[in-house]
Structure 1
Amino acid sequence: MQLPAEAVAATVLIEVVRISALPAERGVPYPGRTVAHWAGAEAADALTLIENLPGSEQHRCGFSPGWSIRAYEDSLDEVLFQTAFCFRCHEVRMHGRAVPRSMTKQFFDADTPEAQALLALFRATAP
C-alpha cells in the first residue's frame, strides 16, 4: 500500500481510532474514540506494516471501516494524514494535507499475514 513518503518520514505520533460512524462530509476526520497512541519505534513499525500491505481488488461491502490511524508531525497541531481501513471490502481511504489524490482510495488484501498482523495490533488497543 502507498503512504505519502514525506508525511511518513515526518510522523512522530500515530493516534489509533476505533471508528464509530462515517464522517458527515468528505475530508473531515472519521468519528470515533481514540484508543491508543503509538510513538517512536512503535509508530515506525506500524507504518512499515501498513506500507507492506499487499494490494488487492475491490470487494463489495459498502465501506464500513472499523479502524483508523491519524498521523501527526512533531508540532501535533494538524493531522498529516488519516487512513481508514475496512477489512471486509479490503478498502483503505486516506485524506489529509499530505495525501495526493492518487492515494486517497486503495485496496489491500485483508487475508494476508501483514493485514492480519495489523488487525491484531488494532484489536490489542481496544479496551
Structure 2
Amino acid sequence: MLLPTTSAMAGLVEAVRITAPSAWRTGAGTLAGETVDRWEDAQEVLGLVSALPVGPAMRCFVPGFGIRVHAAPGCLFEGQVLFEIAFCFSCRWAFLLGAAVTQDIATQAFDTTSAPARELLRRFRESAAAAG
C-alpha cells in the first residue's frame, strides 16, 4: 500500500476502533472512533501497512478499525496528526485522510489474506480486546 510522504515523520500510531462504521468520518474529516491503543513502534506498524499487497476489492466499506498517525518528537510537526487510514477487512478497501494524502493514494484495495494484513488485524483485535 502506498503511504503519504509524511509517513517518514511518524513516531506514534493510535489504533482506533471505528464506532460508527456507516459514518466513519466526522464532520472534520477525521476517523470517528475510540482510541484502543497507542503503538510506539510507528515505523514497524507503517511497515506492515506499506507491505499490504493490492488485492481484489468489494463494495461494502464498513470499516471496523483505523490508524491515526502522529509526528515523532523533535519533528517539525511534533505530535500533530499526519494522516489517518480507515480499514475495511470485509471489502478490502482502505481510505486515507489527511493534508498529505494525494488523490492517487486516497483509496486503495488490499489483500486481506496476506501476512501483513493478518498481522495488522491481529494487532487491532488484541488492542480492542484489551481496551474492553
Q: TM-score, normalised by structure 1?
A: 0.89
What is the one-letter code of the residue matched to 1:54?
P
Question: 4+ residue runs of structure 1 moved beyond 6 angstroms?
Answer: none
- The CA deviation at 1:24 is 4.5
What is the one-letter code of the residue matched to 1:68?
G
SS of the aligned residue for 1:12 comes to strand
Give the share of equivalent positions with the same residue, in percent: 37
RMSD: 1.3
Residue 84 of structure 1 aligns with which residue? 86
Deviations 1:81-122 (A, max 9, x none): 100000000000001011111110000011112111110011
SS of the aligned residue for 1:102 comes to helix
What is the one-letter code of the residue matched to 2:104?
S
**1:35 and 2:33 correspond:** no
Give the one of 103, 117, 127 matched to 1:115: 117
Residue 75 of structure 2 aligns with which residue? none
SS of the aligned residue for 2:67 comes to strand
| Matched residues, number | 121
Instruction: Write the mapping of 1:23-62 to structure 2, written as runs, cut at 5 A.
Output: 23-25=25-27, 28-39=29-40, 42-60=41-59, 62=60
For residues 96 and 20 of structure 1, what CA distance do their matches in structure 2 show? Answer: 20
Q: Is the 8 A contact 2:85 2:97 kept in 1?
A: yes
Q: TM-score, normalised by structure 2?
A: 0.86
SS of the aligned residue for 1:124 comes to helix
Give the one of 102, 105, 117 matched to 2:104: 102
SS of the aligned residue for 2:61 comes to coil
For residues 19 and 9 of structure 2, what CA distance do their matches in structure 1 show? Answer: 28
* Unmatched segments (≥5 aa) in structure 1: none
